Amino acid sequence: MALLDTPVCEFGVPAPDFDLSDPMGNRFTRDGVMGENGMLVAFICNHCPYVIAVIDRLADDIRALQDADIGVALIMSNDYASYPADAPDRMAEFAKQYGLTAPYLVDETQAVGQSYGAVCTPDFFGYNAESGLQYRGRIDSAMMGDPTGRTAELRDAMLAVAKTGQGPQNQTPSMGCSIKWR
Per-residue pLDDT tens digits of the chain, which is 182 residues long: 556 667 779 999 999 999 999 999 999 999 999 999 999 999 999 999 999 999 999 999 999 999 999 999 999 999 999 999 999 999 999 999 999 999 999 999 999 999 999 999 999 999 999 999 999 989 986 544 544 444 568 999 999 999 999 999 988 888 899 999 99
Distance (Å, rounded) from C-alpha 144 to C-alpha 58? Answer: 13
For residues 90, 43, 147, 160, the Cα torsion angle rounded to the nearest 10 degrees is -130
DSSP secondary structure string, 48-73?
A: -HHHHHHHHHHHHHHHHHHHTT-EEE
Q: Specify the pLDDT at position 149.
A: 46
Give the architecture (CATH level 2) of 3-178: 3-Layer(aba) Sandwich (3.40)
Q: Cis (ω within 30 of 0) for the bond into 103?
A: no
Phi first, then psi: what are they for 123, rounded to 5°?
Answer: -135, 120
Which sequence spans correspond to the domains of the chain?
Answer: 3-178
φ/ψ of 14, rounded to 5, equals -70, 150
Of 108, 122, 49, nearest in space to 79 by CA: 108
Closest residue by Cα to residue 63 from 150, 138, 158: 158
Position 172 scores a pLDDT of 87
